[in-house]
Chains A and B, each alone.
Chain A
Amino acid sequence: MSTRALPEAIQAPPSRRSDGISGFLFALPHLLLFATFVLVPVLYGLYISLHRWHVLAKEHPLIGLGNYGAALSDDIFWIALRNTIYFVVLIVPLGNLVSLLLALGLASVQRLGTFYKIVYYLPVVISIAVVAVLWRWMYNTEIGLINLYLGTVVGWLRSIGLPLAPFEPLPWLSNPSWVMPSIALLTVWWTAGGNMVLYLAGLSNISDDYYEAASIDGANAWQRFWAITWPLLRPTTLFCLVFSVLGAFQVFGQSYVLFTSIQGGPQSGPARSGLTLALYMYLQGFRQYEIGYGAAIAYLLFAIVLVLTILQFRLLSNRDDATAKA
């Protein structure tokens, strides 16, 4: 085979069928990994969600949609869903705005551009466990860096005569109504660099000709942004929005690490204010060992994200059609 195979392969153009097979073979390593670590567990999870399944129990009776019914009538599930939606509503506009502003700023930087890009992108590559531990300290009401700096600034402003009240340490993670905004803030710091890169790529795709023409017509910076950058950046913006929403719904690590206590493991924050759907799924499945119930919550989360994704992709493709027609 070794002597003949090579010239044969060169002479005869491969048939379509073997083309498909070698394509398949090339994809095989990934397919195997995908099947092992994604497809099979996902289907297995669906199977588990239809059973009453305590990890230690010897029998797992089939209860159909019982776990789903239990979740929908469990008010803590709804608290978790409400918290998650609140997080999405906070993080998606705020995160994208920060990413866009960073990108716009960096696009106009003349020197050290790469340096700044790396600096702003750096948090993205840090694991959430590290990020959350860091911020847990920074957010500490009594000894946290943020309150220390704020206190210093307020003290300084007071000393130059501004009529400010003495600084009261802010309860970043200990007051229920502060918890989600605090989590959103650290998430912006953590993830803004990712979308920033996408926005930068989008910006570099916009031809300088437009700006030149606009300048000749006397447009100011704001008009140039509003009439050129913003509409031409729309595909990027939509893409970023869609993926931010998907990511935000799965928020887990922040709450998990911020509210882990030594005695009791992960908790859900003061008065459950940090409880997200993914965390609730984990707590049920892996702290209460009610794997069936946890799997049902996971599938409900999946259903929500799926519906939103379909809606958003509709939106995305419609807009593209609209721009194409125009």
Chain B
Amino acid sequence: MRALLRVLRTRFYPVLALFCVGLFTSGCSSQRNSNNQTTRTSDGKILINFWNGFTGPDGRAMEKMVARFQKQNPDVAVRMQIIPWGTYYDKLTLSLAYGGAPDLFVMHAGRLPEFATFDTLQPLEKLYATAQPPVQESDFAPVPWRATFYNKHQYALPLDVHPIGLYYNTKLFKEAGIVDAQGKPEPPHTFDEFLNAARRMTKDTNGDGRTDQWGFVFTWQRTNWLTIAGQFGASILSPDGKTSTLDSPPNLKALQLMHDLIYKYKVAPKPEGVDAWLAFRQGKVGMALEGIYMLASLEEQKGLPFAGAPVPQFGPMKAAWGGSHLLCQPKGISPQQSEAAWRLMRFLSDDSLIWARAGQVPARLDIRRSPQFTSLPVQAQFATQLPFVQYEPLHPKSNAIFPLIEPGIEAVLLDIATPEAAMRDASRRVNQVLERP
């Protein structure tokens, strides 16, 4: 017993010290996905881990597509993991930095530059060059196609575009008499038409002195702002991506207009204490600007008569915010696994009509032009905006600057800051972040 204790005494401290050092260094060294080993299931299939954030009906559509792929590709086993978007990028980032990255994952167009600058994405030029049947630029809408490149390398296959559009409540339109010659509800195309429609639908329906039916509502401020600012020709960053242009006149005009919808024209509620999207779903709001991916949530709503249209033109030019789901592979993936993942990517692209039904505009032109797609009422309407869809700035710091901008937009819409003051602050902070190496 004593001998044991003596041994422990003389040996313990060095062991503890070593243990600590071991922990320390194991924390330091990042194990990137560079083992080049192919992972197989116990029955010899190539295992493809596929991550995305499709938690809604889009996830069910994706599951269907993956199941069809597996039937046609018995040598591949796909393990799909759906992680809510709110935490998706955290998990993806950590897996790319410290190991355990998926073999195929979805990346939003606005996030690709960030992951590409840190060299975490697999360049796909070779796969594109040798693809059979070939895949080429002319197969895709130009906007998402361009978003797959960063610094002259191509890192992704574009799956879809999800533009914002105008959802409107056809019952409220009819009640307010906003109809065409045939008595069909007519969505607004210009700002004047929009304002007129919004004014006619904004009212106090139960006579308690409070407006309880609104012409318009701001749902996701980020995309509403990007759309309207884009229509005024505003940009967020200078063309070289080195300075903020948030405080430039076009953006201030756009923000002033958004502010005026609430406080001057009084056709939209103050964005506090209002679950804006819920209010639209409940039929208390005439119009909202939301992404095409929200379509499913409206279709689920019983008894809500609605339709979709392109965004009305508020400013001097056409613009509509959009995002894209791009399919990427991690840097250092084994060639076999990369090939299997590529097959799945191609399959999802070829099969994207199912995907379109779940509320997306396919990036593939042949599918977008197919009669099956053009007969989808809302999708086809929203898709007409594709030529002027604008993404968030495709800049490595895009993700870092939005938390600096959004509170400013919110402050304007809450009427606690002028557009000038809010954007001056936001601009200064954005510049600080851009200057940081």
Contacts and interface: CB of A to CB of B under 8 A. Distances in A.
Interface in A140-170: 140-143, 166, 169
A176 interface: yes
Interface in B231-250: none
Interface in A1-57: 1, 5, 9, 18, 21-22, 25, 32, 35-36, 39-40, 44, 52, 54-57
A286 B90 contact: yes
B118 A171 contact: no
Interface stretch (A92-100, A202-210, A259-267): A259-267
28 contacts: A18-B2, A21-B5, A21-B8, A21-B9, A25-B5, A32-B16, A52-B437, A55-B93, A55-B94, A55-B97, A56-B96, A58-B30, A70-B436, A174-B272, A174-B273, A174-B274, A175-B272, A262-B84, A264-B86, A264-B222, A268-B407, A270-B407, A270-B414, A271-B411, A271-B414, A271-B416, A287-B90, A290-B400
Contacts of B94: 55
Interface in B314-331: none
A175 B274 CA distance: 11
A76 interface: yes
B191 interface: no
A55 B101 CA distance: 14
A321 interface: no
Given A262-B85, A263-B85, A268-B407, A289 B93 contact: yes
A133 B360 CA distance: 31
A174 B414 CA distance: 9
Interface string A265-292: 1111011100000000001001111100
B87 interface: yes
Contacts of A5: 1
Given A166-B209, A176-B414, A1 B1 contact: yes
B128 interface: no
Interface string B77-114: 00000001111001001101100000000000000000
B300 interface: no
B20 A40 contact: yes
A66 B272 CA distance: 38
A262 B219 CA distance: 13
Contacts of A217: none
Given A36-B23, A74-B432, A287-B90, A263 B220 contact: yes
Main secondary structure of the interface of B (DSSP, over half): helix
A245 B222 CA distance: 37
Which of A76, A173, A271, A272 is most buried by chain B, counting CB atoms within 10 A of its CB? A271
Interface residues of A, number: 53
B292 to A, nearest CB: 14
A265 B410 contact: no
Nearest to B23: A40
Given A40-B23, A174-B272, A271-B416, A56 B5 contact: no
B258 to A, nearest CB: 16
Interface in B48-104: 84-87, 90, 93-94, 96-97
B365 to A, nearest CB: 28
B142 interface: no
B386 to A, nearest CB: 22
Interface string A170-188: 0111111000000000000
Which of A5, A39, A52, A58 is most buried by chain B, counting CB atoms within 10 A of its CB? A58
A98 B37 CA distance: 61
B318 to A, nearest CB: 25
Interface of B: 1-2, 5, 8-9, 16, 19-20, 23-24, 27, 30, 84-87, 90, 93-94, 96-97, 115, 118-120, 208-209, 220, 222, 271-275, 399-400, 403-404, 406-407, 410-411, 414, 416-417, 429, 432, 436-437
A56 B115 contact: yes
A300 to B, nearest CB: 18
A164 to B, nearest CB: 15
B274 A288 contact: no
A61 to B, nearest CB: 9
A25 to B, nearest CB: 7
B273 A169 contact: yes
Nearest to B6: A21
A261 B23 contact: no
A267 B402 CA distance: 11
Interface string A241-270: 000000000000000000011111111101
A22 B12 CA distance: 13
A297 to B, nearest CB: 14
Contacts of A25: 5, 8
Nearest to A293: B436
A261 B96 contact: no
B279 to A, nearest CB: 8
B275 A140 contact: yes
A261 B93 CA distance: 20
B20 to A, nearest CB: 6
Q: Closest 7 interchain pairs by CB?
A: A141-B273, A174-B272, A56-B118, A265-B86, A174-B273, A171-B273, A271-B411
B233 to A, nearest CB: 26
B16 A35 contact: yes
B58 to A, nearest CB: 13
A40 to B, nearest CB: 5
Given A58-B119, A289-B93, A270 B16 contact: no
B338 to A, nearest CB: 20
A264 B90 CA distance: 12
Contact of A56 (B9, B84, B93, B274): B93
A263 B1 CA distance: 61
Contacts of B436: 70
A142 B273 contact: yes
